[in-house]
Structures are given as C-alpha cells and as structure tokens.
Amino acid sequence: MKKIKTPIADIFCSVQGEGLYAGQRQVFLRFAGCNLACSYCDEPAALDSASAYGLLPAEAAALVVKLARAGKAKAVSFTGGEPLLHWRFITAVAPALKKAGLQLHLETNGVLHRELGRVEKLADVIAMDIKLPSSTGQGAFWREHEKFLARAPQKTFIKVVVTSKTKMSDFKKAVALAAAARPGVPFFIQPATARRGGARPPGAKFVEEACCYAASVLSRVKVLPQQHPLWGVK
C-alpha cells in the first residue's frame, strides 16, 4: 500500500443521513479540505486541513475495518470536505476495504470531473451534488457538473441543496442537466437545515413547486431533509 499521509478530519461509524442510502449503517471517512466554500456548509472541521490528523492508507483502512466490524456496517463513505482532492489516497486504501467486504461510497460536490476518472471504477456508489449558485453563494459550476455527469457511471445519484435564497431558475437548470445526462437518475432535493447564523431552509411552497417541476422532467425525484440533525447523531 502506498505511503501517502492525508489530512483526515474524522473516522466514525454512524447511520447515513442523506440520499439513496439514508438509514444504512456506514463508516464515514471524512477528509479535510474542500475546493468550495458553500454558504450552508455544516462541516467546518472538514474545511480545516490544519487541525486534521495525517493518516497513512494502511492506518486508515485498519481503523475503518475495525469500526465497521464493531458497528455492523457494510459500507464506508468517503466524505468531506471534498474526497476527490484525495483520489490518490482513495485508490491506495480501496483494495483493503474491498477485501474486508465493504462497499465504497463516494460523496462528492460533483465538480472535479478529471479526478472522478481516477476512482469511478473503484466506487460502488457515487453521490454527487449539483451546486446552485444562489444556494451556495458561490460562482456557478454548470460546465463542471455537466462534464462530471457525462462521465459518471450508472451507480450515481444526485443531491441538490435548496435554501431560502435559492432561485427557481437555478433549480430548473440543475434538473435540465440531470435530464440531459440520464432522466432516470435518482434526484434528491435536500432543504438546507436551519442553523444559527447559517443558511435558512426554503419555504414549503418553494419545495412543493421545485418537487413538482423536477418530477415532471425526471422519473425518480424525492425530497429528503438531512436526517442526522433530526436523529441527534453526527
């Protein structure tokens, strides 16, 4: 196994709180560092590489397998931060995790399409975001998302976070991107979780309208808020 020390913010076993596998026990390997800075980001530790601890792939794999066995988890989620910034580490750690019988889930902001090419064959599931500029308070990444979707395999599903600031025109653009790539792709609308000093969730009317619009274009649309804050787990 290659000796690449990588900044890891956390490794823990919990229940998946978002998307297609919500409710499944998983080990989360949370990388530090991200290429974006979304207004609703609830992972400050993941953005701070300086306070993370550096781990070798062998060390991380041993810890993940131990936690999975103890916590009865069958999958590991590479999350962040942005895991694709650390694709070399993922390719180094993947064989040991697969050998232990774990499914590999990749949670990504869907921007780093070149790096996706390095790990797409290793991942069993890819959860990608489409980032709406009116939600994130950042610039647009339509072109990057389009390229990402063009190479994303069948095992990919999409998540779109909507806030009180989200413009319907941005949302419709995300639906169009998804439909152009694959009309049957699972598409999750995730209202932002209310946090003191942070982003606010959208109104019910907006969510209703967005859901109806998406369902008129795509075949597998669901509204699913983040479950972790509701369950009181991390």
From residue 163, how far is each of 57, 108, 234 by CA, in Å?
A: 37, 19, 21
Q: Is 81 in the site for ligand SF4 (CB under 6 A)?
A: yes
**b/e 152-163 (16+ beta carbons within 10 angstroms → b):** beeebbbbbbbb
In the complex, the smallest distance separating the C-beta of residue 95 from ligand SF4, rounded to whole angstroms, is: 26
Does position 83 bind ligand SF4 by CB under 6 A?
Answer: no
Q: What is the dihedral of CA 233, 202, 108, 69, to 10 degrees?
A: 20
d(CA 56, CA 77): 17
**# residues near ligand SF4 by CB under 6 A:** 11
Binding mask 21-60 for ligand SF4 (x = CB under 6 A): -------------x-xxx--x-x--x--------------
Name which of 101 and 198 has its Cβ closer to ligand SF4. 198
Closest by Cα among 91, 25, 69 to 227: 25
Considering the complex, state which of residue 41 and residue 96 has its C-beta at the smaller distance from ligand SF4: 41
CB of 38 to ligand SF4, least distance (A): 3
Taking a C-beta distance cutoff of 8 angstroms, is the pair 171, 213 a contact? yes
Burial class for 184, CB neighbours closer than 10 Å (0-12, 13-18, 19+): exposed
Interacting span for ligand SF4 (CB under 6 A) from 15-23, 66-74, 75-83, 162-170: 75-83
By C-beta, is 38 or 178 nearer to ligand SF4? 38
List residues binding ligand SF4 (CB under 6 A). 34, 36-38, 41, 43, 46, 80-82, 109
